[in-house]
A and B are shown apart, each in its own frame.
Chain A
Amino acid sequence: MAEESNNLPSVTYTLEREHLHQLFDVLTGKGYRLLGPAVRDGAIVYDELTAPSDLPVGWTDEQDGGRYRLKKRADDAVFGFVVGPHSWKKFLHPPALRLWQLRREGDGFTVIQEEAESPKYAFIGVRACELHAIAIQDKVFLESKYIDPMYKIRREGCFIVAVNCGQAGGTCFCVSMNTGPRATSGFDLALTEAMEGERHYFVVEVGSPAGADALSEISHRESQADEETTAERIVADTARQMGREMDATGIKELLYRNYEHPRWNDVASRCLTCANCTMVCPTCFCATVEDVTDLAGDTAERWRKWDSCFTLDFSYVHGGSVRATTKDRYRQWMTHKLATWFDQFGSSGCVGCGRCITWCPVAIDITEEVRAIRETESKKDSAGD
């Protein structure tokens, strides 16, 4: 697992584009299963990788509320896009996972546990907002009284190659959430992609001993001052391009003061309760447990599946669902993400990746919902003056 980068010297290295394949070869040689962005079905998803040619070279994405389009770039940038419909939680907290099986034997039964071997993932191209999302899920699954063994074996031994964003997407707002676009911790290696005339290279920061070890087996050299400056400029430019913005000042108190704001009815009229926002959110961790039996009644299995606070089953208790209306459910989701999360886990549950905005089929925009509540509240206040 990546450690804090603060203890390491702030030297950066340069890796030429033509040597990127060495990173893949070295990690594969160390027994890692490489996962990262790839073009599939008109989007950039996270999938198995074998070589840099599997990456979305020369592709980019255009994003807005309820809209995503894959586009060809004018150059051969390797990481010239932002985040897509998938997040790393699909590997660390799989969508459907068998927890154990029971087999009937005579008058009793045997419990069959799932194998507990680390899959040794190497994530290629993790963005700053996603590092924050992983840190949040670490807190949820690993740092409370109850440790999730399924998450733990996937997360431990995970090698992370972060990428500092060279451009922002139409629904990005990491700057508002203070989660990007620069990767500051939680990685083994972090790359900034630079293209200047004929030159195409990566400025590399080392974030852990494992990262230093991998880099030592790859052709690289210490960066020159101008390369470092270029990398700094690229990330600074990205920070100025955010497609969305959210004023997070006192947001917890703002939402706590506005449980009964009329805006909740307004958003409820648009919300489909389809659960897409929660499925694509890299921090949403809720799951349901399903027990299944076979026809003969000789084996039973317990499965864990992603669940969502937008379903009726989610809040079903004896007699009915606690959050019966759409308003109840949208308010629960947004208030949890931006307010109660602070009380529960000590941080915001939102990392500003913009996925919930892009992948909402009807373009509900969390930044817009916050703005609407904030603005109408201040109007109300000034009216009272």
Chain B
Amino acid sequence: MAKRKPKLAVWKFASCDGCQLSLLDCEDELMAVADTVEIANFLEASRRVTKGPYDLSLVEGSITTPHDAERIRQVRRLSKYLVTIGACATSGGIQALRNFKDVKDFIRIVYATPDYISTLDKSTAISEHVKVDFELRGCPINKRQLLEVISAFLGGRRPNTPAHSVCVECKLRGTVCVMVAHGTPCLGPVTHAGCGAICPAYARGCYGCFGPMETPNTASLSDWLIGLGASEGEIARTFHGFNAWADEFRQAGDLNEKKQDDQS
């Protein structure tokens, strides 16, 4: 078959690189990926860059500078199908904690010469800047899900990345509920599936790395966590984590923070 291989590009914005590393972490499948797509632009893997346009762009990271806000528009123009990978690209990432404060205060504290810093007030998701064709959740993403997204793209089908709770993944693998059986606070019931329920399998509560599930009832879960002995402040900090700027988690965190302030 002399069919042209689709061109794949991987782009980095404000991020830790963990999500694009998941692609390199595909070890066993990496050769199959290289066989089926032309890895045209992936600086973490190769210096060789082939010019666009690209059939599939994987975008990691959030938009935090005026320069990146412009660059993402350029990436969009070069990409036929654009997939964001990870919490940063999908909801602003952990660096979206700046969004709750005045970023100028941080700059003053951190940098000797704040004038050199050109940054935006907020860290935002890619979808706030350009049209996104598909969002893959996770901090970091799950490599199986990444392969599923690429396979689905190549097969012209919708990827199987269910938006239900992490609880379903726990139950499918037979993990005993850490909240019910151990009293360990867990965000699993309000968190988007995809990780395979790793933390509860090691007797820890879910940290919400995959962001809000399709219909998260954060108020009801917060009430229950209080009953388990968590404070409003702790709950607020848990929601304001890797997906702090995802609407439902942001609001849940804000609400708990307000309750804490009202008490003091």
Task: Please list the residues of chain A having a beta carbon within 8 angstroms of any beta carbon in chain B.
Answer: 40-43, 45, 66-70, 85-86, 90, 95-96, 269-276, 279-280, 290-297, 305-306, 308, 310-313, 326, 358-359, 361-363
Contact = CB atoms under 8 A, between A and B. Distances in A.
B21 to A, nearest CB: 19
A296 B32 contact: yes
26 contacts: A41-B181, A42-B203, A43-B176, A43-B181, A67-B180, A69-B181, A70-B181, A85-B180, A95-B174, A269-B217, A269-B219, A269-B220, A273-B165, A274-B188, A274-B190, A290-B160, A292-B160, A296-B36, A308-B164, A311-B168, A359-B177, A361-B179, A361-B189, A361-B221, A362-B220, A362-B224
A305 B193 CA distance: 14
B35 to A, nearest CB: 7
The 7 A-B residue pairs with the shortest CB-CB distance, nearest first, are: A279-B171, A274-B189, A274-B165, A272-B189, A41-B176, A274-B167, A95-B172
Nearest to B223: A362
Nearest to B37: A295
Contacts of B224: 66, 361-363
Contacts of A293: 151-152, 154-155, 157
B119 interface: no
B69 interface: no
Provide the main secondary structure of the chain B interface.
helix
A275 B165 contact: yes
Contacts of B179: 66, 361
A310 B154 CA distance: 31
Interface in B35-53: 35-36
A296 B171 CA distance: 31
Contacts of A358: 180
B149 to A, nearest CB: 11
A358 B179 CA distance: 11
B182 A42 contact: yes
A42 B176 contact: yes
B160 A270 contact: no
B14 interface: no
Contacts of A269: 217, 219-220
Nearest to B165: A274
Contact of A305 (B147, B172, B176): B172
A273 B171 contact: no
B154 A361 contact: no
B33 interface: yes
A41 B203 contact: yes
Given A66-B224, A361-B180, A86 B164 contact: no
Contacts of B171: 95, 275-276, 279-280, 306
Contacts of B172: 95-96, 279, 305-306
A310 B215 CA distance: 10
Contacts of A297: 36, 154-155
Nearest to B167: A274
Q: Which of B180, B182, B216, B220 has the most CB of A within 10 A?
A: B180
B187 to A, nearest CB: 10
Contacts of B175: 41
B114 interface: no
A272 B180 CA distance: 14
A292 B36 CA distance: 16
Interface string B186-212: 101110000000000001000000000
A270 B219 CA distance: 8
A40 B201 CA distance: 11
Contacts of A68: 177, 180-181
Interface in B128-157: 147-148, 150-152, 154-155, 157
A45 B176 CA distance: 8
B29 interface: yes
A366 B110 CA distance: 55
Interface string B204-241: 00000000011111011101100000000000000000
A86 B181 CA distance: 13
B155 A272 contact: no
A312 B214 contact: yes
Contact of A275 (B29, B152, B164, B219): B164
A269 B218 CA distance: 10
B137 to A, nearest CB: 16
Given A41-B176, A294-B32, 5 more contacts: A45-B174, A272-B190, A273-B215, A275-B171, A361-B188
Q: Which of A272, A280, A291, A312 has the most CB of B within 10 A?
A: A272
A45 B174 CA distance: 9
B97 interface: no
A68 B213 CA distance: 25
